[in-house]
Structure 1
Amino acid sequence: MSSTGEGREQVCAMNSRTPQPRPDTVRGVPMHGVPAQRGPSRSGGAPLLDEIAGMLALRGCRSVLDVGCGEGDALARFAGRGLSCVGLDPSPTALRRASQRLGGRAFLLRGGLSDLRMFGESTLEAVTCFGGAGLVDDVERMLAEFQRVLRPEGVLVLTAPTTADRDYGRGMEVARHTFCYQGTFWRFYERDELRRLMADWRVESVRRRSWSEPVRDPRHQPRRARDSWVVLASNPFDD
């Protein structure tokens, strides 16, 4: 099997049970589109979101950008703590629901990671990204963009799925801890791998957290829990 991105795209397209995606959306999600939030939500991960909101407030953050904000689960909690909030997401449906929910308490932008270029260097106090590390095709570039827009000592909180997450193993394994499922690559992480990826950051903690999402249809069996690493890091001063 080819180890190039092109070869991985072909494998993913052939093995997807859904219609073949457009070429720019196969692989992990490209830099221009992080999908709606795949991290903790109000349905099951509310305590973790409340904890993160409190963490930002205690560190003196007055504003935050949530990348891949989805329907605004995290933004609602951040706004409740008095933070000025900006949400970025490529899905117009998710943003419409976020707008209805937040009622003007956050500034919402349609876009993906590549749209971070609208923010200047060293302009943001805090960035959050829930689940995006499991979906983008270039995690190193994603982290570099976060580092570019954060001020020195600016705060980053992100979640990344562990190998114990309920979706681990779905689809066809195309690389270590990486699976092609329904036209998308899903990447899962071990703690040491995350620390290596974030060697240029001041990593304060990498904790493992789990939460369960309620089953809406009583005919269905409860699904395995979500399981993620929660990373708290800061952008170091340049030497």
Structure 2
Amino acid sequence: MKDQGRDGLADAQRRHWQGTYTAHPGMYGDLPSDPALHAAQVFRAAGAADVLELGAGHGRDSLYFAREGFTVQAADFSATALGQLREAARAQGVDRTVTTFVHDVRDPLPLPDASVDTVFAHMLLCMALSTAEIHAVVAEVRRVLRPGGLLVFTVRHTGDAHHGTGVAHGDDIFEHGGFAVHFFSRDLVDALAEGWTLREVHPFEEGDLPRRLWRVTQALDRAQEPSHR
């Protein structure tokens, strides 16, 4: 469910990313992120065949998953970024195993219950989403995962140097240079894992500053049915 009080911020963030991807095509380069390298190993060890990436951007991680033999569904709220992803998929010869769809994570996923093996989201959950919206996203992930399915996500956390600075939007959301981040506490990570098996909360650093993040891996029990909202 959308938080109506944050629609303006979310729409501003959509415009920000559309403009950013237009001005800087392929801005994150061709190499996969370190979390994607790890996730591919975890997914393969679990016998997974497909990956849903939320917040795929221009696709460096989705394309890596496809090259590694997974069938990939890539979702993002930037149509510009997904266009770049499709072009790259054709150039790399993986366009038959990669599909894309424009999606605002504040809305339900347009996918059937228990229809995907794994979900990957690199820094998607720590965008300009309220705590309630983050819980709703994870509930949707749970709905579309098959029993035994895996979720791997990364988020910036409250130990990051930018936490508590810049433009404050409430709910641990702070904005720097037009980019708003919801900084995660460990309590929020644990709350999102209720009803799951929390396998790992791994701290790491990335990029300038450097950004401080957690890589979280959690799994559905094979006996569980997906929850419905």
Q: TM-score, normalised by structure 2?
A: 0.76
- 2:83 counterpart residue number: 96
- 1:63 counterpart residue number: 50
Shift in alpha-carbon separation, 1:225–1:184, aligned structure 2, 3 A: closer
- 1:80 counterpart residue number: 67
The CA distance in 1 between the partners of 2:147 and 2:12, in whole Å, is 28
Give 2:8's aligned amino acid.
Answer: T
Listed as ranges, the matches of 1:208-227 within 5 Å are 208-212=203-207, 223-227=208-212
The CA distance in 2 between the partners of 1:47 and 1:132, in whole Å, is 15
| Structure 1 residue 143, shift from structure 2 partner | 0.7
Give 1:150's aligned amino acid.
Answer: L
- 2:149 counterpart residue number: 154
| Structure 1 residue 234, shift from structure 2 partner | 1.0
Larger Rg: 1
The CA distance in 2 between the partners of 1:59 and 1:29, in whole Å, is 38
- 2:21 counterpart residue number: none
Higher relative contact order (CA 8 A, sep 6+): 1
The CA distance in 2 between the partners of 1:68 and 1:207, in whole Å, is 20
Shift in alpha-carbon separation, 1:100–1:44, aligned structure 2, 3 A: closer
- 1:219 counterpart residue number: none
| Structure 1 residue 44, shift from structure 2 partner | 8.2
| Structure 1 residue 89, shift from structure 2 partner | 1.0
- 2:22 counterpart residue number: none
Is 1:179–1:186's contact at 8 Å kept on the other side of the alignment?
yes
The CA distance in 1 between the partners of 2:81 and 2:142, in whole Å, is 26
Give 1:54's aligned amino acid.
Answer: Q
Percent identical residues: 22
Listed as ranges, the matches of 1:175-214 within 5 Å are 175=170, 177-181=172-176, 185-212=180-207
Listed as ranges, the gaps of 5+ residues in structure 2 are 19-27
Give 1:92's aligned amino acid.
Answer: A
Is 2:32–2:60's contact at 8 Å kept on the other side of the alignment?
no
The CA distance in 2 between the partners of 1:66 and 1:29, in whole Å, is 22
Listed as ranges, the matches of 1:35-74 within 5 Å are 42=29, 46-74=33-61
Alignment equivalent of 1:122, drawn from 108, 114, 123: 114
The CA distance in 2 between the partners of 1:208 and 1:48, in whole Å, is 11
Shift in alpha-carbon separation, 1:235–1:75, aligned structure 2, 3 A: same
3-state SS of the aligned residue for 2:191? helix
Shift in alpha-carbon separation, 1:166–1:159, aligned structure 2, 3 A: same
Q: TM-score, normalised by structure 1?
A: 0.73
